[in-house]
Amino acid sequence: MTDQFDRENIYDVAIIGSGPGGLTAAIYATRAGLKVLMIERMAPGGQLLNTEEVDNFPGFPDGTTGVELAQKLEKQARRFGTELKMGEVIETNLSGSEKMIKTRDEVYKAKSVIIATGESPTELSAPGEQNLKGRGVSYCAICDGAFFKNKNVAVVGGGDSAVESALYLSRLASQVTLIHRRDQLRAVEYLKKRAIDCENLEIKYNTVVKEIQGEQKVESLLVEDVNTQARETLNCQGIFVYVGAHPNTDFLSNQLDLEDGYLVTSETMETNLKGVFAVGDVRKKELRQIVTAVSDGAIAAFHAEKLLS
């Protein structure tokens, strides 16, 4: 690692994260002739990689998969010249005209930065959760569902992601139990109907998980009715948690304005620091969808290019 930089090694735009917002920003910025670096800690695509079916993205009348859409966006970004580096960003200095981004292995500098780090799943904080992570406790049905073929699994949550995951798992598992703390699901109507009509999917309303039980792997769940406090033990070999998410902003070290942990931006996607933009789920906004992340990315890249020119 070095702290000395040749002028030629300074990027016009550095994009942290590679979800649909970040990839779109890369496409627009490279097409504008800018030198673009994208830093990703896992695999390009972000939450797209955890999404089985994408039915509401324009241009796909028959739908597509999250993985397929991610691959196409990455291929397009690379075609225009985006340089992709793998690594986890652990430190940033974004206040100057040249922004510093530090991963565990490298230090990069850029004239502008687009933050597209998205969200991470919120944990249940139930006894047994930490000990059994990766041994029956999962936060991604698409990633881990295949391990539970012909087994009993539970999904915790009542939103779109929870119901979509429960329906996906119903095609693999023998029995799926959807556990929701309220008296009705929050998912959109067509997903609710599919869940209610699914033969091997049972919905437990007004129910919370009190403990995840098992020694070396998940064996059962202790659940409680929120109204009567009656408890029961569910036979279960896997539990998939979908109770919300929190923005990935810890690495920013309080340099940028936040609201509830999310980055506050203007309509141009710029934060309170000049030349620093935020797009996608990490940004404070009302609707977090693939199409809004893509829109954010296009706007941020356009204004980054405008600022640099």
Q: What residues act catalytically?
A: 140, 143-144
Tokens of 46: 């972000």
Helix (H) or strand (E) holding 68: helix 66-79
181 three-state secondary structure: coil
In our burial notation (b when 16+ CB lie closer than 10 A, e otherwise), range 10-38 reads: bbbbbbbbbbbbbbbbbbbbbbbebbbbb
**Please, which residues bridge with residue 179 across strands?**
156, 204
Sequence-distant (≥ 6) Cβ neighbours of residue 203 within 8 angstroms: 177, 178, 180, 185, 195, 196
Residue with tokens 């829109």, as numbered in its chain:
295
Rounded CA-CA distance 129/131 in Å is 6
